[in-house]
Amino acid sequence: GARDFVFASAAGTPLAPRNVSRRGLELAARGLEGDGKPKLTMHALRNTFASHLIVDLGLDVVQVSRQLGHAKPSITSDTYARLFDQARHSEDIRRRMEESAFGTVLERAGGDRWRNPSSDAGGEVVALQQVRD
């Protein structure tokens, strides 16, 4: 429900952002140190979630606005306009590629890899305990 917090205390109350950072994000961020990527923050996680809703799931601005708790969809639109535009154009480009002769050439040359990339991108899933040790 509306009061189900992602990060809650044993009593069910929300944890302060600094406590969440201290307890969880700093531990997770240790595994990312030195890779040249931006620091892991609550704001970065929020932006990642918004990107997933827009680009991967194709939700509209009103749906994303509700999920993020914005007062008005215009806030979401102003903040993430680039992603909404990218999602809209990506689908159009994908459709056009499939319909074009170029898409047919790609299929003959490499099968469906361009359309259905391998799920094995060389990444590795590790337990947080391993990162900490």
22-70 pLDDT, tens digit per residue, is 777 676 666 666 666 666 777 888 888 999 999 888 899 999 999 999 9
Q: What is the DSSP letter of 116?
A: S
| Spatial separation of the C-alpha atoms in residues 80 and 96, rounded to whole Å | 25
Question: DSSP 3-state helix, strand, coil percentages of the chain (rounded to 5)?
Answer: 60, 0, 40
Q: Exposed, middle or buried: residue 23 (CB in 10 Å: 0-12, 13-18, 19+)?
A: exposed
pTM over the 0.75 mark: no
Cα Dmax for the chain = 61
| Spatial separation of the C-alpha atoms in residues 83 and 3, rounded to whole Å | 28
